[in-house]
Structure 1
Amino acid sequence: MAEFPKRVDIMTTARCNLTCPYCWGPEHSIKDGLNLDQWFVLIASLRNKGATDLCVTGGEPLLREDVGSLMLATCALGFRVTLSTNCLLLPEQLTLSVNVLNYIHEIGIPIDGSSAIVNGLLRIGNTGSFDAALAALALIRSDYPSIQTTVRTVVTQQNQGDIPNIGRLLTQNRPDRWKLYEFTPIGYGLLNHAQMAIDTSRFTDIVAAAQAEFPDLNIEPQYSSRQSEKYLFVGPGGDFYAIGRNMEYVPLGNPLEIGERVIANIVRYFPQSK
């Protein structure tokens, strides 16, 4: 039976303080888009339609000054909330009256190298991103132990040889999960496909080697081909997208403009709950 997807990724802004060459966000031309009240209406509608898990992402979501209020409302609606952040602005949250860490269940932390040098090949724009990620992992483990930590690593030509070193690093700073992502040629990342992507067979070998060397780490491979028809995105302007079979963004409409027809489009595109 057709159902509304259980998980939705909302891109609260397209602004970012990094310029990662594999970024796959679809709306880099739109900055903040919806205001807070519009987001409240939209996420309430998602909950009413049956969504249970919300990933708050971007761009960099913490660049929105009102993101804490949005997270609070999202949590109050009963969502399981994941924050996907590069962690550079996370220390500022600790000083705010509405600290996002009080309203999330999981945090996605990007680590693409075992050192600032290797990490900086992919996390471009701030040399402190590596230290920020490690500090965030330590902070969550010590002060917010109920939050699930997921380290995310995109495996590319640039860091494929460093994956074992990242594994050794994570055995000392153990997350709940370590997701290894195959490079996905979509969005901005499509421009850098030839320079960054590795063969799927090579990716499979890297994952298998990591799982064998680090059996105590919960390693989950994320294959590019399996992203198709898996994710439902809401862009900063309220537009809904899916990923098509050919790794292209499929626009499904904007509920603020065409109302319930968007819901019908979504249910048709996702015939089974994801």
Structure 2
Amino acid sequence: MTTARCNLTCPYCWGPEHSIKDGLNLDQWFVLIASLRNKGATDLCVTGGEPLLREDVGSLMLATCALGFRVTLSTNCLLLPEQLTLSVNVLNYIHEIGIPIDGSSAIVNGLLRIGNTGSFDAALAALALIRSDYPSIQTTVRTVVTQQNQGDIPNIGRLLTQNRPDRWKLYEFTPIGYGLLNHAQMAIDTSRFTDIVAAAQAEFPDLNIEPQYSSRQSEKYLFVGPGGDFYAIGRNMEYVPLGNPLEIGERVIANIVRYFPQSK
């Protein structure tokens, strides 16, 4: 998470509080990602907040790519057009982009992507741009399935058959971060989520649809916060702190191995 700052306030967000400052400077990020690469990490997702709010994010992506990471950018796409005018354009240094589309129209999408009415058009424009000008970048559309948009999933599928991404990930609502506060108003039963996924896969067999279950997020991802703090998601959907290498050094690696024994 390069920054906690964001230009949207999505009610299902499971990122950190948006009031947290960026924390690490560029040099500190260079040291941190080099350390991760030296320890065998191969895949890195640059996210936030909204990562493109950092003016130096292009330089960070360049360095990350140069180290040999497979780099994914997770962005709401609102600031993506500005990147095309920069000498260090993030799109030249990523392998995959995550594009959020939570409705088949600006109205439905706006129920979940709150803070800018242009987020729907920005996402579709980004999908078209990548497909036409950056075909080597894998496109993944991400949809969080909630009470508000569950009936619109077939319409989103029809929209995506016209703007075909490489993958369409359907996410079960995850009760963590802002999502914990809005759980009762937004979450649907896992059985209902499973039925929605199955129906979408049956109706749109040509779309590469991947369900992402909330329960499977636990102990799956290693996060690095804006200040360099490492943490995971526990079995009870809580953040589990693993330490900050700038404060406790190599002991962070030991904590990671204990929590993720498969990382040995």
1:29 Cα deviation after fit = 3.7
Which whole-Å CA distance do the structure 2 matches of 1:28 and 1:43 have between them?
A: 23
Alpha-carbon contact 1:27-1:235 (below 8 Å) kept: no
1:30 Cα deviation after fit = 1.6
Of 199, 213, 222, 1:209 maps to: 199
- Residue in 2 aligned with 1:154? 144
2:9 partner SS: coil
2:45 partner SS: strand
Alpha-carbon contact 2:6-2:18 (below 8 Å) kept: no
Deviation per residue, 1:188-234 (Å, 9 max, x gap):
11000000000000000000000000000000000000000001000
Which whole-Å CA distance do the structure 2 matches of 1:241 and 1:21 have between them?
A: 22
Alpha-carbon contact 2:5-2:19 (below 8 Å) kept: no
Which whole-Å CA distance do the structure 2 matches of 1:183 and 1:63 have between them?
A: 25
What CA RMSD, in Å, does the superposition of the two structures yield over aligned residues?
0.9
Which whole-Å CA distance do the structure 1 matches of 2:19 and 2:234 have between them?
A: 21
Deviation per residue, 1:61-107 (Å, 9 max, x gap):
00000000000000000000000000000000000000000000000
Q: Say if 1:27 and 1:236 are closer, same or farther in 2 by CA, change over 3 A.
A: farther
Which whole-Å CA distance do the structure 2 matches of 1:74 and 1:204 have between them?
A: 36
Which whole-Å CA distance do the structure 2 matches of 1:29 and 1:239 have between them?
A: 16
Alpha-carbon contact 1:82-1:106 (below 8 Å) kept: yes
2:195 partner SS: helix
Deviation per residue, 1:139-187 (Å, 9 max, x gap):
0000000000000000000000000000000000000000000000001
Alpha-carbon contact 1:26-1:249 (below 8 Å) kept: no
Query: Which runs of no fewer than 5 residues in structure 1 stay unpaired?
Result: 1-10
Deviation per residue, 1:103-149 (Å, 9 max, x gap):
00000000000000000000000000000000000000000000000
Larger RCO, structure (CA 8 Å, separation 6 or more): 1
Query: Which runs of no fewer than 5 residues in structure 2 stay unpaired?
Result: none
1:28 Cα deviation after fit = 3.4
Which whole-Å CA distance do the structure 2 matches of 1:241 and 1:107 have between them?
A: 23
Which whole-Å CA distance do the structure 2 matches of 1:27 and 1:38 have between them?
A: 21
Which whole-Å CA distance do the structure 1 matches of 2:18 and 2:5 have between them?
A: 7
TM-score for the superposition, normalised by structure 2: 0.99
Alpha-carbon contact 1:57-1:85 (below 8 Å) kept: yes
1:26 Cα deviation after fit = 3.1
Which whole-Å CA distance do the structure 1 matches of 2:58 and 2:210 have between them?
A: 29
1:168 partner SS: helix
Which whole-Å CA distance do the structure 1 matches of 2:6 and 2:19 have between them?
A: 12
Which whole-Å CA distance do the structure 2 matches of 1:150 and 1:68 have between them?
A: 20
Which whole-Å CA distance do the structure 2 matches of 1:79 and 1:200 have between them?
A: 34
Alpha-carbon contact 1:27-1:236 (below 8 Å) kept: no
2:140 partner SS: strand
Which whole-Å CA distance do the structure 1 matches of 2:218 and 2:254 have between them?
A: 19
1:27 Cα deviation after fit = 4.5
Which whole-Å CA distance do the structure 1 matches of 2:17 and 2:231 have between them?
A: 10
Alpha-carbon contact 2:16-2:49 (below 8 Å) kept: no
TM-score for the superposition, normalised by structure 1: 0.95
Which whole-Å CA distance do the structure 2 matches of 1:114 and 1:26 have between them?
A: 28
